[in-house]
């Protein structure tokens, strides 16, 4: 079945990213990270998702409220964050043609001295047998041409194989600032992917990667990514997922950066009831345990631990 471009990575993400702790410099620390998720659902198609997250850094608590209202013809979604980022989207499905969803999104980011307000208009089209198309135009409310952007993504799909690419370009200068390419094959037993990326906003950062996943009684995944301009960020990640029953699962991950930094992640997820789950996660600095030298700031940090409680999610 064909997917949108942003969903091509879903197999890899489930195995080596979902539920594991983030190692962002501003989020790591020496305390326990705690996350709380609750979703309030109404029979008329209305729901509100509330998330509160205290990272191990203990500097602050991130809060997010995401209401969603579904009508017969339209869907309204919003996202309100304590980081002073807000957005609201109105979308309509199958109005232009079957499989197409048109949308308009308003975004506001409040800063200490100024705010950033943008409007996005676009269309997502999915044909499950053949592929997908995404087109989006973004402009600041001031209509500054230099800050207008056009995004496009396309995916072709046939017999389990998907080929996709996306491009982000400045409208005023007609300059490509970001692009990604992806080739993936999936069947019931395995998933194989190869990709490349270029991002001018991150200092002309480039990257290439491969991924292989085997689905047997456990899922095994191996990802290797390379950046010719930043060899210190070259990374290999190996992940496993084991579901013992509908109530308990376990994940493991080994991360090796530049073949010098080693971290080991472990996740336990337990269903307390049909509507509630608890997730325990850890990410251990293996260099410390093995008395190996740690040079990189992100992976030279100490052990990290997290607890997540989710309800109706």
Q: What's the pLDDT at 10?
A: 85
Confidence class for position 25, pLDDT limits 50, 70, 90: confident
pLDDT band at 296 (very low <50, low <70, confident <90, very high): low
Residue-wise DSSP of 234-294: -EEEEEEEEE-SSSEEEEEEEEEETTTEEEEEEEEEEEEETTEEEEEEEEEEHHHHTT---
297 pLDDT more than 90: no
Is pLDDT above 80 for 293? no
Q: What is the pLDDT of residues 181-205, one digit of tens each?
A: 999 998 888 899 998 888 876 655 5
Beta bridge partners of 223: 211, 237
Q: What is the pTM of this model?
A: 0.84
pLDDT score for 230: 74
3-state secondary structure at position 147: helix
| Residue of 114 and 101 predicted with greater confidence | 101
Please return the burial class of 140, using the count of CB atoms within 10 Å of its CB with bins 0-12, 13-18 and 19+. middle
Q: Within 10 A of 191 (CB to CB), how many other CB atoms are there?
A: 20
The answer to whether residue 52 scores a pLDDT higher than 90 is: yes
- Percent over 70 (pLDDT), the chain: 95
Distance CA 232, CA 253 (A): 20
Q: What is the pLDDT of residue 11?
A: 82
Q: Are 87 and 118 in contact (CB under 8 A)?
A: no
How confident is the prediction for the chain on average, in pLDDT?
88
Quote the CA–CA distance of 86 and 105 in Å, as a whole number. Answer: 10
Q: Give residue 184's pLDDT.
A: 93
> Count of residues for the chain?
313
Instruction: Label residue 226 by pLDDT band (50, 70, 90).
Output: confident
What integer pLDDT is reported at residue 136 of this predicted model? 97
> Tens digits of per-residue pLDDT, 77-89?
999 999 899 999 9
Confirm if 299 and 23 have CB atoms less than 8 A apart: yes
- CA distance readout (Å), 177 to 54, 76, 213: 34, 30, 31
CATH architecture under which domain 5-311 falls: Beta Barrel (2.40)
User: For residues 105 and 96, is the Cβ–Cβ distance under 8 A?
Assistant: no
Listed by start position, the domains of the chain span 5-311
149 - beta bridge partners? 138, 170
Band (pLDDT 50/70/90 cuts) for residue 9 is confident
pLDDT of res. 102: 97
- Hey, what are 55's tokens? 């990272």
Q: Which range has highest mean pLDDT (57-61, 164-168, 217-221)?
A: 164-168
Any residues with CB less than 8 A from the CB of 124 and at least 6 apart, and which? 4, 100, 101, 103, 132, 133, 134
pLDDT at 151: 97
Q: What is the pLDDT of residues 119-169, one digit of tens each?
A: 999 999 999 899 999 999 999 999 998 889 999 999 999 998 999 999 999
């Amino acid at each position: 079945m064909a997917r949108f471009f942003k969903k091509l990575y879903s197999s890899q993400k489930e195995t080596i990213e979902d539920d594991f702790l983030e190692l962002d410099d501003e989020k790591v620390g020496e305390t326990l990270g705690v996350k709380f998720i609750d979703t309030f659902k109404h029979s008329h198609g209305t729901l509100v998702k509330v998330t509160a997250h205290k990272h191990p850094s203990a500097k602050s608590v991130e809060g997010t409220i995401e209401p969603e209202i579904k009508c017969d013809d339209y869907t309204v979604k919003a996202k309100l964050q304590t980081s002073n980022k807000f957005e609201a989207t109105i979308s309509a499905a199958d109005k232009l043609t079957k499989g197409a969803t048109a949308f308009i999104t308003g975004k506001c980011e409040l800063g200490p001295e100024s705010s950033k307000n943008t409007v996005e208009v676009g269309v997502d089209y999915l044909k499950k047998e053949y592929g997908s198309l995404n087109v989006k135009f973004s402009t600041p409310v001031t209509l500054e041409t230099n800050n207008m952007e056009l995004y496009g993504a396309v995916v072709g799909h046939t017999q389990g194989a998907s080929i996709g690419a996306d491009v982000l370009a400045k409208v005023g200068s007609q300059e490509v600032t970001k692009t990604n390419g992806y080739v993936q094959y999936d069947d019931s037993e395995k998933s194989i992917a190869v990709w490349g990326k270029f991002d001018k906003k991150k200092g002309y950062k480039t990257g290439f990667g491969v991924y292989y996943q085997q689905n047997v009684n456990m899922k095994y995944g191996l990802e290797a990514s390379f950046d010719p301009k930043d060899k210190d960020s070259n990374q290999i990640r190996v992940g496993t997922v084991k579901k013992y029953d509908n109530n308990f699962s376990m994940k493991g991950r080994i991360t090796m950066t530049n073949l010098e930094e080693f971290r080991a992640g472990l996740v336990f997820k337990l269903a307390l009831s049909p509507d509630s789950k608890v997730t325990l996660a850890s990410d251990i600095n293996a260099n410390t345990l093995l008395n190996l030298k740690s040079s990189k700031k992100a992976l030279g940090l100490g052990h990290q631990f997290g607890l997540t409680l989710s309800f109706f999610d």
